[in-house]
Structure 1
């Protein structure tokens, strides 16, 4: 229960730090589906969070672009993942480190440790499973509910 509250609080913070771009929902979502998936693609590299999609009935109903003052990066090696968030107005630290694997359309991250805030989450839940839409230079990690319905996605572009 504590982990759910903490995760919901994190989502609320993310939503409040983002700028609503409802007009771009259709354009952004449809353009990502027009590109072919890179079935031999690789997550190795550095990625930056560009925005979010909110889903209802597995359809994008809203999108948010990142606030320019807020940054989140993910770095993948052959087997390790590390992510960090930077938000100048917030003194709390946000980062996590662990292992990952992906198989087709599923990404699994298992966190070993993180910032003080993330360590509280990790005590309750170490493994995070997402639906994965991977393209050559962008990807979406999509959170699913207990019934397999899409809730929201974090959308990343390749930096390196």
Structure 2
């Protein structure tokens, strides 16, 4: 009788461990599906800004009163343009980008007259990236890695 109980207990432990393993596999598959959805590819519109002090948001403001800015990402390219409501001066940039592990790097090749002056001094722009399915923040950091300022976007397409 004791032998049968021991054998039955061992079988139940084995079945239970298989179910746990199946659950872990299912969770990994679901996590992979969700991470595949999180990508920058598409069109995004700037909706606002955050200012930081000591890595905490201390001020936020919306973008709709000053200008309109759109960013478009393909698999490897980025292009953004800005319309200033008070000025008709062109303002855009184009180049390559990469992201991962919470960072975004944009390497601009060319842009508007003003941006070409900026690009002549600095081609690569590095940000902290906080990305969800339909929103992202690109956060500028100082030389010590502290958050300074962010541009906040919503997915348009």
Q: 1:74 aligns with which of 67, 71, 74?
A: 71
Q: What is the CA RMSD across the aligned residues, in angstroms? A: 1.1
State the 4+ residue runs in structure 1 displaced beyond 2 angstroms: none
Q: Which runs of 5+ in 1 are unaligned?
A: 1-37
Q: Which residue of structure 1 aligns with residue 91 of structure 2?
A: 94
Q: Please say if 1:109 is aligned against 2:106.
A: yes
Structure with the greater alpha carbon radius of gyration: 2
CA distance in 2, matches of 1:137, 1:80: 19
Tell me the alpha carbon deviations over residues 38-66 of structure 1, each in whole angstroms, 9 at most, x when there is no partner: 64311000000000000000000000111
For 1:104 and 1:140, how far apart are their aligned partners in 2?
A: 14
**How many angstroms apart in 1 are the aligned matches of 2:128 and 2:63?**
21
Q: Deviations over 1:16-54 (max 9, x none)?
A: xxxxxxxxxxxxxxxxxxxxxx64311000000000000
SS for the counterpart of 1:146 is: coil
SS of 2:71 mapped into structure 1: strand
Counterpart contact for 1:48–1:156, Cα < 8 Å? yes
| TM-superposition CA deviations, 1:46-87 (whole Å, max 9, x none) | 000000000000000000111345100000000000000001
In the other structure, the counterpart of 2:143 is: 146
Determine if contact 1:80/1:97 at 8 Å carries over to the other structure. Answer: yes
| 1:46 pairs with 2:43 | yes
**Which residue of structure 1 lines up, in the alignment, with residue 62 of structure 2?**
65
Q: How does 1:31-42 map to 2 (within 5 A)?
A: 39-40=35-36, 41-42=38-39
**TM value normalised by structure 1:** 0.74
The answer to which structure, 1 or 2, has the higher relative contact order (CA under 8 A, 6+ apart) is 1
After TM superposition, give the deviation of residue 89 of structure 1 in Å: 1.6
For the 8 Å contact 1:39–1:104, the answer to whether it is kept is no
Higher helix share: 2
